[in-house]
A and B are shown apart, each in its own frame.
Chain A
Amino acid sequence: MVDISEDLIAPGHRTCAGCGCILAARQILRATGKDVIICESTGCLEVTSTQYPLTSWKVPWIHVVFENATSVAAGVKAALEAQGNNHTQVIAFGGDGGMVDIGFGAVSGALERDDDIMIITYDNEAYGNTGIQRSGATPFGASTTTSPAGLASIGKKQWKKNLLMIAVAHGSKYVASASIAYPQDLQNKIKKAMKVKGARYLHIHAPCPTGWGTDSSKTIEVARLAVQTGMWILYEIENGNFQKTMNLELKPVEEYLKMQGRFKHLKENDIKVIQDHINATWKELGHLEKSGVNLRTIL
Chain B
Amino acid sequence: MKKSGDKFEPGGVIKEPGSSKEVKTGSWRVFKPIVTENCKGCGICVQFCPEGCIKVKNGKATIDYDYCKGCLICMNECPVKAIKSER
**Within 8 Å by CB, do A and B touch in the complex?**
yes
A interface residues, Cβ below 8 angstroms from B: 1, 4-5, 7, 9-15, 17-20, 22-23, 26-27, 49-59, 180, 183, 209, 215-221
Q: Are A221 and B76 in contact (CB under 8 A)?
A: yes
Q: Report the separation of the CA atoms of residues A180 and B48 in the bound assembly, to the nearest whole angstrom.
A: 8
Q: Report the separation of the CA atoms of residues A215 and B48 in the bound assembly, to the nearest whole angstrom.
A: 15
Instruction: Give A8 Cβ to nearest chain B Cβ, in Å.
Output: 8
Choose among B18, B70, B72, B76 the residue with the greatest number of A CB atoms under 10 Å from its CB. B18
Q: Are A11 and B77 in contact (CB under 8 A)?
A: no
Q: A17-B71, A217-B71 are in contact. Are A56 and B50 (CB under 8 A)?
A: no
A-B contact pairs, 5 of them (CB 8 A): A10-B18, A20-B50, A51-B20, A54-B14, A216-B73
- Residues in A with CB closer than 8 Å to B28 are 17
- Residues in A with CB closer than 8 Å to B21 are 10-12
Instruction: Give B66 Cβ to nearest chain A Cβ, in Å.
Output: 8
- Residues in B with CB closer than 8 Å to A221 are 76-77
**Pairs of residues from A and B, 3 with the lowest C-beta to C-beta distance, nearest first:** A10-B18, A12-B20, A217-B72
- The yes or no answer to B53 lying at the interface (CB within 8 A) is yes
Q: Are B75 and A4 in contact (CB under 8 A)?
A: no
Q: Are A54 and B25 in contact (CB under 8 A)?
A: no
- Residues in B with CB closer than 8 Å to A53 are 2-5, 14, 19
Q: A19-B50, A183-B47, A219-B73 are in contact. Are A12 and B24 (CB under 8 A)?
A: yes
- The yes or no answer to B52 lying at the interface (CB within 8 A) is yes
Q: Are B48 and A54 in contact (CB under 8 A)?
A: no
- Residues in A with CB closer than 8 Å to B72 are 18, 215-217
Choose among A12, A15, A180 the residue with the greatest number of B CB atoms under 10 Å from its CB. A12
Which one of B2, B12, B20, B43 contacts A10 once the chains associate, using CB atoms below 8 Å? B20
Q: Are B71 and A219 in contact (CB under 8 A)?
A: yes
- The yes or no answer to B46 lying at the interface (CB within 8 A) is yes
Q: Are A55 and B50 in contact (CB under 8 A)?
A: no
Which one of A17, A22, A217 contacts B75 once the chains associate, using CB atoms below 8 Å? A217
Q: Report the separation of the CA atoms of residues A183 and B45 in the bound assembly, to the nearest whole angstrom.
A: 12
Report B40-87 residues with CB < 8 Å from chain A CB. 43, 46-48, 50-53, 55, 64, 66-67, 69-73, 75-77
Q: Are B76 and A54 in contact (CB under 8 A)?
A: no
B interface residues, Cβ below 8 angstroms from A: 2-5, 12, 14, 16-25, 28, 43, 46-48, 50-53, 55, 64, 66-67, 69-73, 75-77
Q: Are B12 and A13 in contact (CB under 8 A)?
A: no
Q: Which residue of B lies closest to A34 (CB)?
A: B17
User: Which secondary structure dominates where chain A touches chain B?
Assistant: loop
Q: Report the separation of the CA atoms of residues A93 and B45 in the bound assembly, to the nearest whole angstrom.
A: 25
Q: Are A57 and B76 in contact (CB under 8 A)?
A: no
- Residues in B with CB closer than 8 Å to A219 are 50, 71, 73
Q: Report the separation of the CA atoms of residues A12 and B21 in the bound assembly, to the nearest whole angstrom.
A: 5
- Residues in B with CB closer than 8 Å to A5 are 55
Q: Are A17 and B69 in contact (CB under 8 A)?
A: yes
Given contacts A12-B20, A13-B23, 7 further A-B contacts (CB under 8 A): A11-B51, A12-B25, A17-B28, A18-B50, A18-B72, A52-B12, A59-B17
- Residues in B with CB closer than 8 Å to A18 are 50, 69, 71-73
Q: Which residue of A lies closest to B54 (CB)?
A: A4
Instruction: Give B13 Cβ to nearest chain A Cβ, in Å.
Output: 10
Q: Are A11 and B52 in contact (CB under 8 A)?
A: yes
- Residues in B with CB closer than 8 Å to A51 are 20
Q: Are A217 and B76 in contact (CB under 8 A)?
A: yes
Q: Report the separation of the CA atoms of residues A7 and B3 in the bound assembly, to the nearest whole angstrom.
A: 25
Q: Are A4 and B46 in contact (CB under 8 A)?
A: yes
Q: Report the separation of the CA atoms of residues A270 and B35 in the bound assembly, to the nearest whole angstrom.
A: 42
